[in-house]
Amino acid sequence: MVAGNWKMNKTLQEGVALATELKQSVKNPKCAVVIGTPFIHLATVAEIIKGTPICLAAENCADKASGAYTGEVSAAMVASTGAQYCILGHSERRAYYHETYDILREKVLLALENGLKPIFCIGEVKEEREAGKQNEVVKAQLEGSVFNLSAEQWADITLAYEPVWAIGTGLTATPEQAQEMHAYIRSLIAEKYGEQIANDTTILYGGSCNAKNAAELFANPDVDGGLIGGASLKAPDFCTIIEARG
Ligand code: PGA
């Protein structure tokens, strides 16, 4: 899979232009292609990409089902736009909007209950990597928010390993660092759900993945694709990354 995360970029009109460009250029991708857009773009973009191989993701959903939560957008509302995926647990949501393991566990369950497939992000910050704690951090994030799921629920989960020090910084993890962590994550899934399910789980890499370095990152056996921020905002770059997944 190659998934784009537009973050808080693009007005509705700019988003329509980008989705239209992608619709014209993404013809026969050899991997799943997802674009993650701001909430307000979802319904419109869903119409634009209808009948194409491109799938749609929200970048978040509420941790409550419905009711008096001014400004929030529920998983049911996201699903009603035609989106199939929901990015959850992004490090920016954890850091700036204080999303805890418990909040994320609720969001994942609500997404699943409403037929959305979570793209669940995990990853350590720079200080944790420097202290050699990256494995412990990632394990706690999985145990805190998604290892409560049944094997059946797990089938709808995509993981994205995004070392926080690599996001938007131009500091990509080396292919070796990515492979090492992805293999570790897969081993945790195997311990919890068994080898078969672990092998079937899609684990994306995210963090300054771009048109130049994608092929090298995706060449690793445990790197199943990418979650792309900055480079997903330009159709030609995003298309090169999709081709790199091959
Ligand atoms: P980036 O962001 O590609 O701009 O580093 C990735 C992400 O945060 O998903």
Query: Could you list the pLDDT tens digit for every one of the 246 residues in the chain?
Result: 999 999 999 999 999 999 999 999 998 999 999 999 999 999 999 999 999 999 999 999 999 999 999 999 999 999 999 999 999 999 999 999 999 999 999 999 999 999 999 999 999 999 999 999 999 999 999 999 999 999 999 999 999 999 999 998 988 899 999 999 999 999 999 999 999 999 999 999 999 999 999 999 999 999 999 999 999 999 999 999 999 998
Span from the CA of 186 to the centroid of ligand 1 (angstroms): 22
Q: How far is the first Cα of the chain from the last one, in angstroms, to the nearest whole number? A: 10
Residue with CA closest to ligand 1 atom 9? 229
Question: Ligand 1, from 167, 209, 217: best to mutate by most atoms within 8 Å of Cβ?
Answer: 167
For 61-97, write each residue's pLDDT tens digit. 999 999 999 999 999 999 999 999 999 999 999 999 9
**Could you identify the atom of ligand 1 that is nearest to the CA of residue 230?**
4
CA quadruple 162, 223, 227, 131: dihedral, nearest 10: 10
Q: Does ligand 1 come within 6 angstroms of the Cβ of 167?
A: yes
Strand, helix or coil for residue 144: helix
By the 8 A CB rule, do 210 and 230 touch? yes
By the 8 A CB rule, do 135 and 186 touch? no
Give the residue among 188, 96, 177, 186 at the shortest CA–CA distance from 140. 188
* Domain residue limits, the chain: 2-245
Kindly state the DSSP code that residue 32 receives in the 8-state scheme.
-
Identify whether 90 is a catalytic site residue.
yes
The secondary element (H helix, E strand) that includes residue 71 is none
Compute the residue count for the chain.
246
pLDDT at site 191 = 98
Between CA 1 and CA 183, with CA 94 as vertex, the angle to 5 degrees is 45
pLDDT at site 55 = 98
Euclidean distance between CA atoms 223 and 43, whole angstroms: 31
By the 8 A CB rule, do 119 and 204 touch? yes
pLDDT at site 170 = 87
Q: Does ligand 1 come within 6 angstroms of the Cβ of 2?
A: no
CATH 3.40.50.1110 fits 2-245, yes or no: no
For 163-193, write each residue's pLDDT tens digit. 999 998 988 899 999 999 999 999 999 999 9
pLDDT at site 246 = 82
Identify whether 152 is a catalytic site residue.
no
Q: Does ligand 1 come within 6 angstroms of the Cβ of 208?
A: yes
Euclidean distance between CA atoms 109 and 116, whole angstroms: 10
Q: Could you tell me where the beta strands, DSSP code E, fall in 59-202?
A: 85-88, 117-122, 158-161
Question: Ligand 1, from 228, 234, 238, 241: best to mutate by most atoms within 8 Å of Cβ?
Answer: 228
Q: Does ligand 1 come within 6 angstroms of the Cβ of 209?
A: yes
Q: Which of 41, 59, 90, 124 is catalytic?
A: 90
